[in-house]
Amino acid sequence: MVLLLKTADLQIAIADLKKQFGPQSDSPDFFENDLLVLDFSQSVSLTSDKHLVELVQTLDNCRLKPVAFRGANAEFANVLKTLGLMEAGNEPLRGKQGAKPKAPAAPVEKPREVIREVPAPAALVIDKPLRSGQKVYARGTDLVVLSMVNQGAEVVADGNIHVYAPLRGKAMAGASGNTSARIFSLCLDPELISIAGVYRTSENPFAAHVKGKAAQVYLSNDGQEKLIFEALIP
């Protein structure tokens, strides 16, 4: 999982974590010692490392295990390393721009080659209702749920999440940082919704045109990474 820090005041992030997932919150067991990467790439205005230790301790109290960081300045990096975190490199480029394949000097007759395509991991399909306290994680793939996700249940996927029934628990897509992941439901009414670490809870009421309706959720592509809620049926 990736925690993208956008605020210049770490105390705000700490207070929010305690309120949502701390020992005294309504969801103290939301995480199960999941590994976490701290991303400071969008918090360039941070100037003090005063609350870094408290942030790491708060994550530990929320049953999250920060193991790496990225996007931190040199001062922050030194502090985080002393806390046992390692520095994660930038994501590799998907391909070189401007590279053009060289044309052969002359047509050459070659034997036909048969290339076997390796299929992507099949989606994890759940066909039974998920009760409070149950958690399903589709590692490295999509998650398809054919029945209700009740309050207190959790569905997590590194890819997309499809719920062909009411979604009333917690749903986290793109858990490993995939910002292109989406969440679909025939009846969207979750306790918490999250994509690539950007989340929103039911404490902030959902709009009437999507609450309890067939809808999808995805991240905006304007660089602000806001959650977009869109009805599937106008």
Last residue of a domain, one of 87, 116, 141: 87
Domain residues for the domain of 220 are: 124-231
For residue 47, the domain's CATH number is 3.30.70
For residue 176, the domain's CATH number is 2.160.20.70
Mean pLDDT of 85-102: 54
Q: Per the structure, how many domains does the chain have?
A: 2
Mean pLDDT of 93-116: 48
| pLDDT for the residue 48 | 59
Q: Are residues 80 and 144 in the same domain?
A: no
Q: Which residue has the tokens 């969440």?
A: 183
Q: Which one-letter DSSP state was computed for residue 104?
A: P
Q: Which residue has the tokens 């770490």?
A: 10
Tell me the pLDDT band of 95, cut-offs 50, 70 and 90: very low
Q: Tell me, yes or no, whether 109 lies in a domain.
A: no
What's the predicted TM-score (pTM) here?
0.54
Q: Which residues of 87-111 are buried (b: 16+ CB within 10 A; e: fewer)?
A: eeeeeeeeeeeeeeeeeeeeeeeee
Q: Are residues 55 and 138 in the same domain?
A: no
